[in-house]
Chains A and B, each alone.
Chain A
Amino acid sequence: MSGEVDGLYAASGPDDPPPDGPQNAPPPPLPLDRLRELVDLVKESGPEDVGWELGVHVEGMEEAVKEFSVRVQALEQENRQLQDRLTRGHEQYEQLRESMNELLNLHQLSETISTSFRIEDILDSLMDLSDRFVPYETCGVFSLDEEGNKPEVEASRGQDVPALQVRVRSHWEDGIIDWVMRERRPVVIDDIDALSSEAVQPRCFVMIPLIVGGKNVGIFILHCAREKDDFTLGEIQLLDVLANQTAAAVSNSRHYSDLESTHDQLVESQQQLLISAKQAAIGELAGGVAHEVNNPLQIILSRVQLMIAQNTDCEPVTKGLKLIENNVRRISKIIRALLGFAGHNKADAEWTRFDLNQAIQQAIALVKHQLDAQAIEIDIDIPDDLPALLGNIGELEQVFINLMLNAQNAMPKGGDLRIIARVDGEEIELRFSDSGTGVLPEHQDRLFEPFFTTRGDEGGTGLGLAVSYSIVEVHKGTLSISSASEQGATFIIRLPVPSPGLETSASDANLRHSIPSPLARAVSAQGDSADVRGEQASNRDESIHIDG
């Protein structure tokens, strides 16, 4: 606009050709404002007074003035039109910019979503971005479940979250939340409290359902200090898009963590499978060897007994034979334990009633040599009148072996291992206490996690205690640890006393399939328990050889 006015003005400069004559002369261009003034002046005081300024003769003034007026009007109209266009242009530009901003916001959310797999981050960015185009006082993401339980807050922002929770609860009780979830689109309602209390700003709630794959997972609720009428179609659509994106992201994040844990489980079972296969082979070999050794041993024993009977008169010989007999009996005992162990550890072994004392003794027989070699005293305190337990004796023996080897590793320089059993209500409590190095507090939580080991460099696999834990769990018991540093560790097994009628529990068999073959574990216990502490792993493989 100003350009045109300048042009008019410039044309009146000295370079202009002089006007031809008063009648034909085109009116010299003047700035609009000046022209208006002149027109007014002519109207008031007649054309003569302004004649000199326009550079025309007075005679033609009236007509010239008329012409000016028309031109002024035309220019003013043009001016108005241009101004209108400018305003419209500005408006469109503003709208475009706003749309761009909204698009950018959405883009930003998508970006956060595609780079984030943590639900917390996703909800954070939802609350951030929502505030940018629908400013709120308080907001919260509430989870809803299929059972129709009360909505629980998952994430929140703002001034008064507890109050929002109370309001959401009451909306839920009124059935409004349910209604919104069925409608599957954002809904705005008045905040009735803000309406009724005078002099308070009107407020409203915006409720945005979060739906994944047709399932309601939650609701995003904003408490805004504005009237519900102010909401535009665009805002509501934007919130809807935002909620959909968020819901999809949350769903992805859940899938991702599912996938991760499945992957972990797969790695775990693969490792267990590997170990199982290796140990099963060793176990089979050991069982075979034990069987082969047992027969000649019986022959030796009977011959020695015969010789003792025949040589009662020769003291030194008898003494020597008695020594042989004792040692052969000892070998035989170990072998019987080993055979019994292999027998119990068939994968389909049924649950039977067994005596805890006997199971402990058999387990000790298998590891006594190792404990003796490390100068570890075993102190057993188990009452004779304990009720019989129900379960897989082989599996539980393996648990006991694991705990004893664990104690052994905790006491490289020797010490005491106390095994105490007590009846406690409907349960039997069994404690394995060592006088070793104890367990660091930060390790206690992770102790029973598979593959958690502090002896990775010495070949610990981190499976011994994990497997023990799952065996006790299958037996409906618990395995826990209480440890004070410097004073050693106590592992506590609690097993239920079976009700009298229950003989075998076939229904539990399916539970046990999740655990690798018991024999494999029994043997692996020899190699892999005691992962947590201590330093030296003695010649573990030898321990299953029958060289006691």
Chain B
Amino acid sequence: MDEAKQQRLKKVTQSIIGLPTLPAVVTQLIGLIDNPKTSARNVAQLISADQALTAKILKLANSAFYGFPREIATVDLAVVVLGFETVKNLGLSVSVLERFSSAGENTHFDRQKFWEHSIACGVAAKLLAEKLQYRSFSGEAFAAGILHDIGKLILSRYFPVDFKQIIDLMEEGDLYIGKAEEDVIGVTHADVGGWLAQRWNLPDQLEDAIKFHHAPGRAVPGRNELPSLIHLADLLCRRERIGDAGGERLPSLDPAALRTFGIHDEPKVAIKRIFAYGDELQAAMERAEAFSSIARSSEEDAEASAGQAPNEPASDDVADGDEAQVQTAVSDSGLTDPSESHP
């Protein structure tokens, strides 16, 4: 990222106060799975302490998406059957789904469809990881797909005014959302998402995947498989029109993504090989219904609690009380430089 953009990103992120944090259990989980000495029992003990998380992980582990022929009744079995990575990424995905579900913030943004797109992208990433034989990423790939557009949620939540402008600009000018974001605030949702991943100490792989999912060619050489995978998965989901990631326009294809997987054909021809997995993606999405239902219920819970109490009482480490102030502060700070914005 060039210097000027770095500055702009700093300017944007500095005005974000009260950012949701990851639940402690997920942070611990990420740390635990960094250590080769971690046993399945360690992971199960950590997760089992959080009953809600345990229930969700077991629900997903037993879903058709994983399709294990027997019942997975305990977290420790989930760990050894689905793998440490998968359980970690399940925990991470579920937590992010919950942390960012809150209703009534933004009318230009259909969260249900946003999550549908994110889940589809995760499913597509896992599918492509298998098809392109990058098996080491299949666990990571799913989480990366779910998280790749997290920057959009940040923008819509913390910069509602700017975000509305971005959406308007996108619709009027028939622009791709990333372009509109650049025009309005000078950085894209990928940049903001990458920054968030860093703040949350997510694994480097995930951070790269979020940051470079529109331009995998710009990722560090040798670390660009996951960004490439997410880039292709994103294109596949948009082509299949699953969910809505904002805007009708497809992001442009970065040929580097195909080259990463040894596909050196003419990009317009080569991408057809990726698009050919559309039917399989649609079938896999049906199996992934459990994820969508968790996303839906999270949104509904959030809506319900928002309706009951404006100042969410129980929400542990989210500084929800400050949110109103935050938004005012942002508006006051005049983040959007009118001269920069699109006429």
Contact = CB atoms under 8 A, between A and B. Distances in A.
B221 interface: no
A176 B70 contact: yes
A228 B67 contact: no
Nearest to B37: A232
Nearest to A184: B135
Given A185-B83, A214-B133, A228-B76, A179 B67 contact: yes
Contacts of B39: 229-233
Contacts of A233: 33, 35-39, 84
Nearest to A244: B135
B205 to A, nearest CB: 16
Interface residues of A, number: 24
Interface string A176-197: 1001000111011110000000
A357 to B, nearest CB: 64
Contacts of A231: 39-40, 80
Interface string A187-218: 11110000000000000100000000010000
Contact of A229 (B36, B44, B69, B133): B44
A184 B134 CA distance: 11
Interface string B118-132: 000000000000100
B24 to A, nearest CB: 20
B69 A179 contact: yes
Contact of B81 (A95, A189, A229): A189
B264 interface: no
A95 B35 CA distance: 11
Given A185-B135, A188-B80, A228-B76, A174 B70 contact: yes
Interface in B1-58: 33, 35-41, 44
B200 interface: no
A237 B80 contact: no
A228 B44 CA distance: 12
A17 interface: no
Nearest to B68: A179
B77 interface: yes
A175 B37 CA distance: 31
A184 B80 CA distance: 14
Contacts of B138: 184
A501 interface: no
B37 A189 contact: no
Interface in A144-191: 174-176, 179, 183-185, 187-190
Contact of A228 (B33, B35, B77, B84): B77
Given A175-B69, A189-B80, A229 B41 contact: yes
A235 to B, nearest CB: 8
A229 B84 CA distance: 12
A179 B83 CA distance: 13
A187 B78 CA distance: 10
A236 B84 contact: yes
A179 B130 CA distance: 14
A234 interface: yes
A194 B83 CA distance: 23
B36 A188 contact: no
Nearest to B88: A233
Nearest to A234: B36
A231 B41 CA distance: 8
Nearest to A232: B39
Consensus secondary structure, chain A interface:
mixed
Contacts of A228: 40, 76-77, 80
Chain B's interface size range is: 20 to 34
Contacts of A184: 130, 135, 138
A232 B80 contact: no
Contacts of B37: 95, 232-234
Nearest to A190: B77
Interface in A233-253: 233-234, 236-237
Interface string A41-70: 000000000000000000000000000000
B164 to A, nearest CB: 44
A528 to B, nearest CB: 51
A334 to B, nearest CB: 68
A187 B35 CA distance: 19
Nearest to B135: A184
A187 B83 CA distance: 7
A277 to B, nearest CB: 45
Contacts of A183: 83
B38 A232 contact: yes
Nearest to A98: B37
A505 to B, nearest CB: 44
Contacts of A187: 80-81, 83
B174 to A, nearest CB: 41
A229 B74 CA distance: 11
Contacts of B41: 227, 229-230
A332 to B, nearest CB: 71
Interface in B203-240: none
Contacts of B68: 176, 179
Contact of B69 (A174, A214, A230, A236): A174
Contacts of A190: 77
Contact of B40 (A95, A185, A230): A230
Interface string A275-286: 000000000000
Residue of B35, B36, B69, B138 contacting most chain A CB atoms (<10 Å): B36
Contacts of A185: 83, 135
A174 B71 CA distance: 12
Residue of A176, A229, A233, A234 contacting most chain B CB atoms (<10 Å): A233
Contacts of B130: 184
B40 to A, nearest CB: 5
Given A187-B81, A188-B80, A176 B36 contact: no
Nearest to B69: A175
A229 B80 CA distance: 8
A184 B38 CA distance: 21
Nearest to A186: B83
A204 B33 CA distance: 22
B87 to A, nearest CB: 11
Nearest to A230: B39
Contacts of B83: 183, 185, 187, 236
Nearest to A176: B69
Nearest to B44: A229
A234 to B, nearest CB: 3
A229 B135 contact: no
16 contacts: A175-B69, A179-B68, A184-B138, A185-B135, A188-B40, A228-B40, A228-B80, A229-B40, A232-B36, A232-B39, A233-B36, A233-B37, A234-B37, A236-B80, A236-B83, A237-B36
Given A185-B83, A187-B81, 8 more contacts: A176-B68, A179-B68, A179-B69, A184-B138, A229-B44, A230-B39, A232-B36, A232-B39
Interface of B: 33, 35-41, 44, 67-70, 76-77, 80-81, 83-84, 130, 133, 135, 138
Closest 5 CB pairs of A and B: A234-B36, A188-B80, A229-B41, A175-B69, A232-B39
